[in-house]
Structure 1
Amino acid sequence: MYGNLQGQRVLVVGGSSGIGLAVAQQAGEAGASVTIASRSLTKLDAALSGLPRTAKAARLDTADDASVESFFAGEPAWDHVVVSAAQTTSGPLRKAELADARATMESKFWGAYHVARAAKIRDGGSLCFISGFRSARPSANTVLQGAVNAALEAMTRGLALELAPVRVNVVSPGLVATPMWSGMADAEREKMFAGAAERLPLRRIGEAANIANAVLFLACNPFSTGSTVVVDGGATIAA
């Protein structure tokens, strides 16, 4: 594993599914006392069934700054906080509805900002965000995603200075098979995954556990801060 998290308190915001749930599972396996937070009580209850019996759940809407501040005010300092929650949209910038674009920024950037502003984290503990490889490898249909991911990564570097000795890092995934894609028809989704895999040096797309591995590495490495760890199967460098 990546270190001993025995007895440490880990909060995973967005921990009810996908990458966040994989982080919670691996943290629990490493001995941490895990709390997952999300807007959906239904998803939280379902996620708890796959976590250690000691795991807890908390309803939290990161878009609500007052709610975020109230949550952290009522909790002792955490050892590690991971922010994976985000509802995003994609498509050409000039065709996207402004309301959808603003909602994406509100969810992925401002939600993370609210957590960073309010979270109590012990000295030497860590805060980790999830961005995305489009910050460095843009495409015509993902302009907004690239912008919000780049903003998260820039905020990470600044916060690593402001919040020290708390460590602040970000993991930048490529295409990962998560429930985010469950709205697509099975055949359409598999075709997209196969086409993306063919363009990657590793000829495969990612799994949530691959990204969680990097998050846990950063949590357990006391000499990592201000870092962007790219886990994208080579998408950033692919031709």
Structure 2
Amino acid sequence: MGTSFQDKSALVIGRPSGIARAVVEAALAEGAEVVAAGRDAQKLRDGYGDAVRAETVDVTDDASIQALAARLGPVDHVVTTASARARGLLGDLDRESLLQSFNTKVIGPAMLAKHLSITESFTLFSGVAAFKPAVGYLGVAITNGAADFLTRSLSLEMAPVRVNAISPGVIDTGIWDALGEPGKAEYFEHFRTHNPARRIGTVEDIAQAVVFAMTNRFLTGVTLRVDGGEPLT
């Protein structure tokens, strides 16, 4: 166990799986007192057990955010991994899905910054689509681009609290299981053989970047692109 977060508190917003889970486990390993928050606190309790304190929050609901802020009081580090992806071609996108995407990944973090009492760092998530647009990912790209710019703006408004973002590339999480085993293998093989890192990212890769963003006291207003160099191809 490390000591980077000894006597520090960390709030991690997201489901008890994938990247959010890896961040929770990394923060615990570094000695943090972790609060995991999401729409379903019972799922968080079931997923983490007694290792963390589970709380309810809906980042698209200001009253929910304010209630969480009142229950927690000051918190040293906050990480939000919440997202609602608006995938699809332009002709298939609708206003509701785009608004939900922005509400969750852009407006939600802005309201978290407004209402929570954060003392040291705030880490958001952007994504590779912001830096390498692709057909079928317009909604994802503009949402991530906005999250990237929000990061820089908040770093000025919240100073000296440090605000950074993580921009993952293709990461091996459960999100790709919907493709089926053959489809997932083919998709991963394409990216593995084309990106400069010659591999698919892991949730541990992302969690390490989050810990770095949380602990480096001279890093702010930066989006760390943990993407295997995919935008270069």
Shared fold, TM over 0.5: yes
Aligned to 2:16: 16
Instruction: Tell me how far apart the structure 1 counterparts of residues 211 and 12 of structure 2 sit (CA, whole Å).
Output: 12
Identical-pair percentage = 33
Unaligned runs of 5+ residues in structure 1 are: none
Instruction: Tell me how far apart the structure 2 counterparts of residues 81 and 87 of structure 1 sit (CA, whole Å).
Output: 19
Residue 172 (structure 1) aligned to one of 167, 176, 179: 167
Say which SS state the counterpart of residue 225 (structure 2) adopts: strand
Superposed counterparts of 1:195-214, under 5 Å: 195-214=190-209
TM-score for both structures, normalised by structure 2 = 0.94
Instruction: Tell me how far apart the structure 2 counterparts of residues 174 and 39 of structure 1 sit (CA, whole Å).
Output: 25
Residues 15, 36 of structure 1: CA spacing in aligned structure 2 closer, same or farther, 3 A cutoff?
A: farther
Aligned to 1:34: 34
Q: CA deviation at 1:97?
A: 2.6
Q: CA deviation at 1:152?
A: 0.7
Q: CA deviation at 1:4?
A: 1.5
Residue 89 (structure 1) aligned to one of 86, 89, 97: 86
Instruction: Tell me how far apart the structure 2 counterparts of residues 59 and 195 of structure 1 sit (CA, whole Å).
Output: 38
Q: Is 2:2–2:31's contact at 8 Å kept on the other side of the alignment?
A: no
Aligned to 2:231: 236
Q: Which segment is superposed worse, 190-199 or 141-150?
A: 190-199
Structure 2 residue identity aligned to 1:160:
S
Instruction: Tell me how far apart the structure 1 counterparts of residues 160 and 2 of structure 2 sit (CA, whole Å).
Output: 20
Aligned to 1:112: 109
TM-score for both structures, normalised by structure 1 = 0.92
Instruction: Tell me how far apart the structure 2 counterparts of residues 197 and 98 of structure 1 sit (CA, whole Å).
Output: 34
Unaligned runs of 5+ residues in structure 2 are: none
Residues 41, 182 of structure 1: CA spacing in aligned structure 2 closer, same or farther, 3 A cutoff?
A: farther
Structure richer in helix, relative to its length: 2
Instruction: Tell me how far apart the structure 2 counterparts of residues 55 and 84 of structure 1 sit (CA, whole Å).
Output: 17
Say which SS state the counterpart of residue 179 (structure 2) adopts: coil
Aligned to 2:74: 77
Instruction: Tell me how far apart the structure 2 counterparts of residues 18 and 54 of structure 1 sit (CA, whole Å).
Output: 17
Q: Is 1:169–1:224's contact at 8 Å kept on the other side of the alignment?
A: yes
Aligned to 2:48: 48
Instruction: Tell me how far apart the structure 2 counterparts of residues 192 and 223 of structure 1 sit (CA, whole Å).
Output: 37
Q: CA deviation at 1:3?
A: 5.9
Aligned to 1:182: 177
- Kindly indicate whether residue 156 of structure 2 is the aligned counterpart of residue 161 of structure 1: yes
